[in-house]
A and B are shown apart, each in its own frame.
Chain A
Amino acid sequence: MPAMPARPAILDPCLIRIVCPLKQRSRRLLATATHQLPRNQPWSHPPASTSIDNDQVARLASRPLHPLTLADLVQHGRPPLSASTLFTSANFTLSLLPIRLAHRIQALRNLPFIVVSNPHISRIYNNYVHSLSTLLPYQERQINTLEDEIQFTEVMADLVQTHADTIPILARGFLECRKYISPGDVTRFLDEHLRARIGTRLIAEQHIALHLSSQPHCTHNDQHAQDGSSTSIGVIDTALRPAEIIRQCESFVSEICELKYGVRPTVIINGQPDTRLAHVPTHLEYILTELLKNAFRATVESGKERDPIEVTIAAAPDPSPSPPESIHLDPSRADPTTSNTPPGVTIRIRDHGGGISPENLDDIWAYSFTTFGDEELLDLGNGNADALNAISGAGGDSSSLAGLGYGLPLGRAYAEHFGGSIMVQSLWGWGTDVYLKLRGLGKI
């Protein structure tokens, strides 16, 4: 069984160059924080390489979670941020993350002993413990110097990097533990865990993005490009055009489809294709890729590749007319965007792929394994490249149309994170209609 690559001990070099001129200090910081599991860890109680006071975890986990909104992420204003605003962003991030990590650690600790003893699950558990330990030094202080902020951003980058492969690793772990924990319990745990993870990553990534585009850290050339023409606020695109994302995902999924099946169905976009909304492009890409993968697979496997997949984009009418003058963000206001409910966008994906059978319909939202047979799962053990890609596909980068069966529940987790939803309507014998609802950001 091929071992999963160990987490790299250093950051991507170019990131370091941009982020921090004080390379030596950062390397030392990271070196003390790395840990690696022995390669052939037997199933037993693995030692944690870092340890945290139980009191700390309990104390943090008893504090309530702040429900993340899109407004939170843009509250600091359009980039480039000034140094002081950057500090505000850092401190805001600092106020949220330890609590979130503590909640996750507690949830993991409450899984059955034998499950957390599994090397993969244990590894994820240790990742969380490690990440929290890197944030604890900041607990009692505020960030208000550039140097502190740079260090903090490195910690953020470390966090994002460490937890990048959580999903496939957890998936493998739960697969191996399927005799010891019920599918219902797995789904319940993963639903909560992966939804929390979306928020945590977003907070960290947003700060990193704001940091990279901020005034102190931007090169002169980059700054020029940012003057007013960019619609991005960190990882959020305020003028995201779903039709564009659909075409990108279509092209990606078509490639795989053609590779595997030799045909590529077409996608028609109708409705209001010029609709724009404020959202996180990577999230939308993930959701649409998964939905299109399902549609393409069903279409081709039922022999209907000549029937196009119909995508309809609908934008709810704007309740209040938008003022003609340009709107600017006021960082001092707590929540500048909730004067009315943000407008919604609905994307309907219709395929003629035969539908989902009534027996399978109950299971589509479970974090379970796909309708592929157990032979494919056995291939995982033999290092079969195609099936291995199937596992890594759940993380969003896939070269297989059939993943682990995580695409729908995870897609829904992304959609629901900011108040959207996914609903699936099966017409068994004809095809499937999927309704993706997204909530934008409203007036910015």
Chain B
Amino acid sequence: MPRSRSWALEKAAWSTRPHLFRRPIASATAPWRPAAVLDEWVQKEARPISLRQLTFFGRTLTENRLLSSANYVRMELPTRLAHRLRDMQTLPFVVVTNPHMSHVYDLYYKAFETLRRIREIKSVEDNEQYCKVVSETLQEHLTVIPRLAMGVLECQDLMRPEEMDKFMNTLLRSRISRRVIAEQHLALTETFNSPWHFPNAKSQVGANSEFVGEVFLRCNAREVVEACWNQASTLAKEAYGWSCILPDITIEGHLDATFPYILSHLQYVIGELLRNSIQAVVEGRSALNDSPPPIEVLICEAPQHVIIRISDQGGGIPNEVMPELWSFSKGPRSQTHLRNLSQVPKMAATMQELKPPNCSSDNSSTSNRDKKRSYDGSLGSLTSRPPNLRLGMGLPMSRVYAEYWAGLLEMHSLEGYGVDAFLQISKLGNKNEQLSTRASMDAV
């Protein structure tokens, strides 16, 4: 198809939305790439991993193990990317040519092309080179989430919301999975290279013993909630003014509940829920001067799960909104969200300067963690965005993160009173990542 004709078509399609048609469509139609290579990778099955496998694998690091991990990642990344590329290719043409979606598609394709060509990793030097490539890719892909979200909102009328949500959920789940295995490998490499590491030692000593790569072995629910609360409160004060009266927080239940988890995931989800609650309470009671009712957190530990319940009295969510709560594309305020999202890529670009979120109370490990955190800026920048920058996707995103390790996130609203949020986490770490498998992709 001649470029000029397709370009004109695209211009026509997007001219009905003049306010969005500001950026030039440099790659309105994607360059034609032969599909054979992609087909080959699409045929491969992803091999999902469990949290327990991640931690056990990293506990005793030998050179062999490190190289083994590198080769696992080397194969998994292009495989999982290929699956999502194929998903995107089967979306309607008009959706994928949206500038934001197209940007993400190109990023993914470029990463796929780079990563699939990497040869088997046979030495520590090979691994160093590999880690460099992976790290750069992770950096480059920081803009994916805001761009995707904007693309989805702009394409609201072009696809059925259920299908769009399914696509987004699959994509984000896969994205988390790729970043988890990539970051885990990078963290293990760093551990292997660090001055405290003794290659043949049975156990890890030093400040990193509570972490195996990205996995924090001893996430204590209460401490995480308190840390997130502090951060959320600080941000709220900055947004609403330091004289604003924030609600208190009470935490009760099984306060000792502790489990292994990827700390940044937990912080993101709990952070989102607490931010929503604080916002609802503060904004719902702006006319009142008395002290607001506290936000009540309950931690419940069972043999296989830990459930964290966050209850606020912020007025609740209207019944009409409830069915759209978990959707990326619906919602009454999507235009506002769209505008706000366009400000987020700026944050991602400067995320090196952003202070990472506070981790556990263990101070000695935070300095090491800070360095490691530098390549997971996307969650960090989202977690520390000002409260008035409402993106409308905190809940659907949180649910993707919660469900990633076979957990659950549920909300119940008492309209006129408040909201109860329930986060259920699988405690044993023996549940596999919830990926969209080949079988479910093939099913029509």
Q: How far is the CA of A317 from the CA of B318 in the complex (A)?
A: 9
Q: Would B417 and A346 count as touching, CB distance under 8 A?
A: yes
B304 (CB) vs chain A CBs: closest residue:
A358
B319 touches A316 (CB 8 A): yes
Q: Which residues of B contact A355 (CB under 8 A)?
A: 300, 302
Question: In the complex, are the beta carbons of A425 and B416 less than 8 A apart?
Answer: no
Nearest Cβ in chain A — how far from B255, in angstroms? 12
Contact pattern, B 230-247, Cβ under 8 Å of A = 1, otherwise 0: 000000000000000000
Mark out the residues of chain B between 300 and 357 whose CB falls within 8 Å of any chain A CB in the assembled complex. 300-305, 307, 309, 316, 318-320
Taking a contact as CB atoms closer than 8 A, the residue among B254, B307, B417 that contacts A314 in the complex is B417
Please tell me which one of the listed residues B298, B318, B410, B417 contacts residue A430 in the complex, with CB atoms under 8 A apart.
B298
CA distance A315 to B412 in the complex (A): 14
B404-421 vs A, Cβ < 8 Å mask (1 yes, 0 no): 000000101111111010
Distance of B94 from chain A, by nearest CB (Å): 35
CB distance from A354 to the nearest CB of B (A): 10
- Is A435 part of the contact surface with B, judged by Cβ < 8 Å? yes
Given contacts A344-B415, A346-B415, contact A428 B318 (CB under 8 A): no
Is there contact, CB below 8 Å, between A435 and B414? Answer: yes
Cβ of B112 within 8 Å of any chain A Cβ, yes or no, is no
Q: Is the CB of B417 within 8 A of A427?
A: no
Asked whether B417 lies within 8 Å of A312 as measured between CB atoms, the reply is: yes
Tell me, yes or no, whether A271 is within 8 Å of chain B by CB.
Answer: yes
Q: Contact at B416–A317, with CB atoms within 8 Å?
A: yes
- State the CA gap A271–B417 with chains docked (Å): 7
Known contacts A425-B410, A428-B300, A429-B254: A344-B417 contact under CB 8 Å: no
Q: Do A425 and B422 touch (CB < 8 A)?
A: yes
Chain B interface: which size bin?
20 to 34
Instruction: Name the CB-closest residue of B to A275.
Output: B416
Q: Hey, what's the 0/1 contact readout for A410-444 against B, CB within 8 Å counting as 1?
A: 00000000000001010111100101010000000
Tell me how far the C-beta of A402 lies from the nearest C-beta in chain B, rounded to whole angstroms. Answer: 23
A272 contacts the other chain (CB 8 A): yes
- The reply to whether A346 and B413 form a contact with Cβ atoms under 8 Å apart is yes
> Quick one: given A316-B318, A316-B319, are A348 and B302 in contact (CB under 8 Å)?
no
**Nearest Cβ on chain B to A24's Cβ, whole angstroms:** 54
Q: Is B253 an interface residue (CB 8 A)?
A: yes
Most chain-A CB neighbours within 10 Å: which of B301, B318, B415, B422?
B415
Q: A314, A423, A427, A430: which contacts B415 (Cβ < 8 A)?
A: A314
CB distance from A232 to the nearest CB of B (A): 25
- CB contacts under 8 Å to B, within A261-299, are 271-272
Residue of B nearest to A431 (CB): B300
CA distance A427 to B253 in the complex (A): 11
Chain B residues, CB < 8 A from A428: 300, 302, 305, 307
Docked pose: A314 CA to B410 CA in angstroms: 19
Residues from chain B with a CB closer than 8 A to the CB of A429 are 254, 300-303, 307
Residue in A closest to B318 when the chains form the complex, CB atoms: A316
A315 pairs with B300, CB closer than 8 A: no
CB A378 to nearest CB in B, in angstroms, measures: 32
Report the number of A-B residue pairs with Cβ-Cβ less than 8 Å: 68
Most chain B CB within a 10 A radius of its CB, from A344, A355, A425, A427: A427
Question: Is the CB–CB distance between B316 and A314 below 8 Å?
Answer: yes
Residues of A within 8 A of B309 (CB): 427, 433
Minimum C-beta distance from A322 to chain B (A): 16
Give Cα A433–Cα B418 distance, bound, in whole angstroms.
14
> In whole angstroms, what is the CA distance A437 to B386 when docked?
34
Question: B300: which A residues are within 8 A, CB to CB?
Answer: 355, 427-430
Chain A residues, CB < 8 A from B416: 272, 314-317, 346
> Nearest chain-A residue to B412 (Cβ)?
A435
- Closest Cβ of chain B: how far from A411's Cβ, in Å? 17
Contact A425–B319 (Cβ < 8 Å):
no
| Residue in chain B with minimal CB distance to A316 | B415
The residues in A between 221 and 273 inclusive whose CB is less than 8 angstroms from any CB of B are 271-272
User: A439 to chain B: closest CB distance in Å?
Assistant: 9
A430 — which chain B residues lie within 8 A by C-beta?
A: 253-254, 298, 300, 307
- Contact present for A271 and B412 (CB under 8 Å): no
Q: What is the CA–CA distance of A358 and B253 in the complex, to the nearest angstrom?
A: 19
A271-B417, A435-B412 given as contacts; is B316 within 8 A of A427 (CB)? no
Give complex CA distance A236, B187 in Å: 66
Which residues from chain A contact B318 at a C-beta distance below 8 Å?
316
* Contacts A344-B319, A427-B307, A429-B254 given; does A314 touch B298 at CB 8 Å: no
Chain B residue contacts of A314, Cβ below 8 A? 316, 414-418
A residues less than 8 Å from B254 (CB atoms): 429-430
**Interface members, chain A 344-397 (any B CB < 8 Å):** 344, 346, 348, 355, 358
Docked Cα-Cα span, A316 to B416, in Å, equals 4
Q: Is the CB of B305 within 8 A of A271?
A: no
Cα(A418)–Cα(B125), bound, Å: 69
Q: Is there an interface contact between A425 and B412, defined as CB atoms closer than 8 Å?
A: yes
CA distance A430 to B299 in the complex (A): 9
Question: 1/0 per position for B372-415, CB-CB distance to A under 8 A?
Answer: 00000000000000000000000000000000000000101111
| CA A355 to CA B318, docked complex, whole Å | 27
Say whether A312 contacts B422, CB under 8 Å: no
Q: Which residues of B contact A344 (CB under 8 A)?
A: 319, 415
Query: Which among A312, A314, A315, A341 has the greatest number of chain B C-beta atoms within 10 A?
Result: A314
Interface centre among A272, A348, A430 (most CB of B within 10 A): A430
Besides A341-B320, A358-B304, A425-B422, 13 more A-B contacts (Cβ < 8 Å) are: A271-B417, A314-B316, A314-B417, A315-B415, A315-B416, A316-B415, A346-B415, A348-B414, A348-B420, A425-B420, A427-B298, A428-B305, A429-B301
12 CB contacts below 8 A, A to B, read A272-B416, A314-B415, A316-B316, A316-B415, A316-B416, A346-B416, A423-B412, A425-B420, A425-B422, A427-B298, A429-B254, A429-B303
Which 4 A-B pairs give the minimum distances between C-beta atoms? Answer: A314-B417, A314-B414, A429-B302, A430-B300
Interface residues of B (CB under 8 A from A): 253-254, 298, 300-305, 307, 309, 316, 318-320, 410, 412-418, 420, 422
